[in-house]
Amino acid sequence: MTRIIVTTDFSDSARKAYTKAIQLASGFDSTVDLVHVLNPNIVPPVYYEQLAMPTELVKARKDLKKQLSNEIDTYFKNAVAEFHLLEGIPFKEIIQYARDTSAEMIVMSSHGHSAVNQLLFGSTVDKVVRKSTVPVLSVRDTGRKFELP
C-alpha cells in the first residue's frame, strides 16, 4: 500500500480518522493525502451573493488551503503527508481522486460537522463506501453518542 487518502471537514471526528490513517501509513510506509472538498454549489442562500463574487471563492480557496496546511503541520508530524483541496460534489470528488492517484485506501470519519447536513444531503461516507472500488475505512468517533435522525 503506497497511498492512503484521509478526508477532512476539520471536525474533531475527522481528526480521529487522521490517527488511523497515520497508523496505516506507518505500517505500510505509505503517503497520506489529506483531502477536503469545497462544494461551492451547496451554500445557504444568505451567502449566494458573496460566493457569486469570484473574489470570495478565491478567498475561500486560499483560507481552506491554509487550514489544510495547518492540519498537516499539527497532526501529521510523524507521517509523509500532503494536502489537496478539491472542488465539486464531495463523494464524487473523493472517489475520482482515489482513482486518479491509484490510492489503495480511503479513511473517513463516520461523523461530520452536522446532523442537519446529513439529513439534507445524505452521508458522504455512505456514498463513498457504496460507490468506491477502493476499500474504505470508516472511523467511528467513540466520543460521540449515536443519535437516530
| CATH value at residue 129 | 3.40.50.620
Q: Indicate the SS3 state at residue 34.
A: strand
Q: What is the pLDDT of residue 81?
A: 97
Tens of pLDDT, residues 52-70: 566 777 888 999 999 999 9
Residue 71, judged by CB atoms within 10 A of its CB (0-12, 13-18, 19+), counts as buried
Asked, for residue 22, whether it belongs to a domain, the answer is yes
Q: Cell for 13? A: 471526528
Grid coordinates representing 75? 497532526
C-alpha grid cell for residue 144?
Answer: 460521540
For residue 78, give its domain range: 3-139
Q: In what order do the strands lie in the sheet with 31-38?
A: 81-87, 31-38, 3-7, 105-109, 136-139
Record the pTM.
0.84
Residue at 124 is within a domain: yes
69 part of a folded domain: yes
Asked whether residue 77 is domain-assigned, the answer is yes
Residues constituting the chain? 149
104-126 mean pLDDT: 71
Residue 145 placed within a domain = no
User: Is 9 a member of any domain?
Assistant: yes
